[in-house]
Structure 1
Amino acid sequence: MAKEFVVGITGASGGIYGIRLVQELIKGGHLVHLLLTNASWQVFQEELGWEIETGDRASIPSRFEVASDRLKVHDMHDYRAPVASGSHRTDGMIIIPCSMGTLSAIAHGASDNLLERAADTTLKEGRPLIIVPRETPLNVIHLRNMLALAEAGARILPAMPGFYHLPRTMDDLIHFVVGKALDALQVEHQLFRRWGE
């Protein structure tokens, strides 16, 4: 059965995790509301070599290689977007990767952009909120903010690939993290070999 998810991608290193997650969700027939921070566009340029202008939402479906009818890319300051309100039902939200700045804002109830507002709405409505932090090492402020979010009902899913499935390529490592994210969203996938299989 098709579901509806909010996916946020921030300026933390590892934007490819978010892109692959969006690809998998849309491949599964799900609807995705995509929220991209300004810094995420810089990561696309630096890590993927994309020549892309900040805010060029029209090019995202082709860049992500997904069907545009299942992907809704929202402006970060469009509070008329459906995901700004708790009355719009979704099946959950994931921020992958999540910068420490965004994590801190959500942990402290800030809603300075649509991503932070959508996360706040997800928490207040009791829907699944998955945070995929991508930072190392972590200081005590980071850890306290993660604890605050966990206590508020979010799940913290660090971008830490496993190695028991004997990865051979970068894609294998990426797929492991994305697969764990899909597990957290309760979406079926075949991205990695599970323990004991």
Structure 2
Amino acid sequence: MLGLVAAAMVLVVAWIAFDIWSFGNSSDPGSADAALVLGAAVAGDHPTPVFAERLRHAVALYKAGKVRTLVMTGGKNPYDAVGEAEAGRAWAMAAGIPAEAILVETQSRTTRQNIDFAAPILAEHQLARVLVVSDPLHLRRAVTMARELGIDAWPAATPTSRYQTLGTQLPMLAREVWFTLVYRITGQ
């Protein structure tokens, strides 16, 4: 009996891992009202390389006419000079995005908070269809959270990622499997 339970658990984890991987590598989601850029830490006052990849992709979506607004998310850690959303706005403006095309959510610290706190901003500005911009392996959980809040959310995976090798992808995938399980059990 214990063997059956263990086998079932392995199958569930394998299915979740496959779902996460395949969802993040899905096809072009088309156009939307906004790109919801999930924060990913800053170093001092600059985006970390992971966050910069997300910003680069959001800017490319805007310049290609796929979105008309960028919504930056992420609050400030006490040891950073600026918050994630503010650093993201500065980065996007330096890349040529007009200030009026950028909205910011500056209080969140987690993926769930990124989405929860961005939802009223999206509603206030009547941004109905949203491309969630993040790393491919992060998107299944993030888009699921957004959809469960009633947001018409679609994955917009960064075409490049800091997680390129099997050695960097496996820990990220394991992390996302864990967080997906926790989310499914607790709703957080």
Shared fold per TM-score greater than 0.5: no
TM-score w.r.t. the length of structure 2 is 0.44
Instruction: State TM-score, norm by structure 1.
Output: 0.43
Higher helix proportion: 2
The structure number with the bigger radius of gyration is 2
Question: 1 or 2 for the larger relative contact order (CA 8 Å, sep ≥6)?
Answer: 2
